[in-house]
Amino acid sequence: MSEKRILMSGNEAIAEGAIRAGCAFYAGYPITPQNELIAYMAKNMPKAGRVFIQAESELAAINMVYGASAAGFRAMTSSSSPGISLKQEGISYISGAQLPAIIVNIMRGGPGLGNIAPAQSDYFQATRGGGHGDYRLIVLAPASVQEAYDLTREGFALADKYRIAVMILGDGVLGQMMEPVTLAGKNAGKPLPKRWALTGCKDRKPNVVKSFFMAEGGLEKANLDLQKKYKIIEKKEKRYEGLFLKDAELILVAYGTTARIAKNALFRLRGKGRKVGLIRPISLWPFPADAFRMPGRKARYLTVEMSYGQMVEDVKLSSGCAEVDFLGRSGGGIPGEEEIVNKVNRMMI
Amino acid sequence: MIERVIIAGSGGQGVMLLGKVLAEAAMRQGWQVSWFPAYGPEVRGGTSYCMVVISDRQIGSPYIDNADTVIVLNNPSLEKFKGKVGNKGMLIANSSLAGNFTASGVKLLSFPFTDIAMKIGNIKVTNMVVLGCYLAAKKIVDRGNVLKVFDAMAPSGKKEILAANRMALQEGERLVNG
């Protein structure tokens, strides 16, 4: 008999995943469509003997995470698009100080206050670094509630391993939808010993955690250290799911909720004999460029997004194709299976 | 097999719970399921809805454009969602609160669910009368699994709530089975 399945929303699964990964500190501020996440943390973090704080603002929440992480604790915050914009200063500081942290963005419509409908239009912000400076986040994009749970746990391990902030990037559908989940395993690896953490320096040399380097050459050296780390991550931490790539003449590229819809379209098209494949990036940074560089492949690419084509750039850069087709909606619309099938049929005439 | 169900009504009629019980019972039966709620301002008074997909395969979109079954518990919901019933689909309407509807290629089941629930003695179990009707009409999810969900969900020490829900389910099934 397999593990017991329980019905949970994406928001709840991320929260439960974090608690089981040993998240010791959570601070957040409510915003739709990720409210079930903060509500779950409010209820269950104290029960587990951990710290939950509803902060006075998004800015306060991310800086509390900064502090908790500097003190050596596994820490997380969550929000949705406009709230994530508010957190960018703190995210940049955390990145500069090389601190592990989990930041969850359950995307809604933008720009501005936008609306609460599902969206994927924070791709640029997440993958390019939404704050100032030369930094990167590991960005993981789950496509199911189970994967939201799994990637959150994995995210904590990656954050500790590389001393980097990891963003879990979902959309309103993923956050709100309930699906069966198996809560396997107990934790995401033991938190690594953090010799760099600020734990009180009696009988040892003080540790320094900062993103401020005024001495001549200091910042350049710190930035080169970051770049070195990012190179390693780019080499080792790319993740994707590929379907029917061997003989595909047209490859759909989609992540998160949109990938589920694309997958349905793919099976329908295959049923009609169309040689269609799918690449679903799971890590958006590092982008799974290898998936696009198979020797001898002569496929066209069609990216499907709930944005106006923010991922197209990465597909072009990875595949070397100057032309990449795009199908997307943003601001409340979800690309439909039918739309994808029709578009592919038109492309493959 | 894929069954896509839209369940709509006014806030307070229990459409979210109806969807959750259905999804959870289907999960217990071994199906893949997804449950997706309206999470906008409509959940605070206006038309509220949720979407349930039951399948023997991995589920693509939890969002439903073309439903196999649409359940409406009031008239605004009927107006909003009658166009979402796919060809050869089923529409289950609450005639206590929703008007008449006919469309070719749509199987219509219309019963006064609210009145039936009031006769049982608890208007709050309207949603479970509807669920009983749905179970009997579609025969995808077994009543036994629904009863297990009732047992798991009901607050302990409130046996009368459990009894009212069981009774409601049974009355709903009788509408179809006679």
pLDDT tens, residue by residue, B103-131:
888 999 999 999 999 999 999 999 999 99
Report the percent of chain B where pLDDT is more than 70. 97
pLDDT score for B47: 86
pLDDT, residue B44, reads: 57
Task: Tell me the sheet residues that pair with A52.
Answer: A26
Cis peptide before A111 (omega within 30 of 0): yes
Q: Does residue A32 belong to the interface with chain B, where contact is any CB pair within 8 Å?
A: yes
pLDDT in tens, chain A (349 residues): 356 899 999 999 999 999 999 999 999 999 999 999 999 999 999 999 999 999 999 999 999 999 999 999 999 999 999 999 999 999 999 999 999 999 999 999 999 999 999 999 999 999 998 999 999 999 999 999 999 999 999 999 999 999 999 999 999 999 999 999 999 865 566 777 899 999 999 999 999 999 999 999 999 999 999 999 999 999 999 999 999 999 999 999 999 999 999 999 999 999 999 999 999 999 999 999 999 998 888 899 999 999 999 999 999 999 999 999 999 999 988 999 999 999 999 999 8
Q: Which of A236, A261, A291 is the last residue of a domain?
A: A236
At B80 the pLDDT is 93
A338 lies in the same domain as A230? no
Question: Which regions of chain A does DSSP assign to beta strands (E)?
Answer: 5-9, 25-28, 51-54, 75-79, 101-109, 115-118, 138-140, 165-171, 178-182, 240-243, 250-253, 276-281, 283-285, 300-305, 325-328
CA distance B65 to chain A (A): 8
Confidence category of residue B100, pLDDT binned at 50, 70, 90: confident
Which residues of B are less than 8 Å from A337 in CB distance?
60-61
Q: Is A339 on the interface with B (CB under 8 A)?
A: no
The confidence band for B43, taking pLDDT boundaries of 50, 70 and 90, is low
Cβ distance A177 to B33 less than 8 Å, yes or no, reads no
CATH number for the domain harbouring residue A169: 3.40.50.970
Q: Output the CA torsion sign for B78, B81, B82, B85.
A: negative
What residues of chain B, 44 to 73, have a C-beta less than 8 Å from chain A? 58-63, 65
Give the helix/strand (H/E) hosting A91. Answer: helix A88-96
User: What is the DSSP code (8-state) at residue A97?
Assistant: T
Statement: residue B82 has pLDDT above 60? yes
- List A residues 202-261 in contact with B (Cβ-Cβ < 8 A): 257, 260-261
User: Which residue, of A236, A251, A272, is where some domain finishes?
Assistant: A236
Packed helices A88-96 and A218-236: angle between N→C axes, nearest 10 degrees: 100
Containing domain of residue A18, as a range? Answer: 5-236
Q: Which amino acid is at A117?
A: A
My answer on whether A23 and A165 are in the same domain is: yes
Answer CATH for B2-177 from 3.40.50.1220, 1.10.357.10, 3.40.920.10, 3.40.1350.10: 3.40.920.10
Nearest to A7 among B23, B36, B62 (CB): B23
Q: Are residues A202 and A252 in the same domain?
A: no
Is residue B17 predicted with pLDDT exceeding 50?
yes
B30 touches chain A (CB under 8 A): no
Shared domain check, A119 and A23? yes
**Looking at this predicted complex, what is its ipTM?**
0.93
For residue A245, the domain's CATH number is 3.40.50.920
Q: What's the pLDDT at B128? A: 98
Residue A92 is predicted with a pLDDT of 98
* Domain final residue, candidates A213, A236, A259: A236
Is the same domain home to A104 and A251? no
At residue A22, the 3 state secondary structure works out as coil
Do A286 and A218 share a structural domain?
no
Residues of A whose CB is below 8 A from B59: 179, 260
Name the amino acid, one letter, at A112. Answer: G
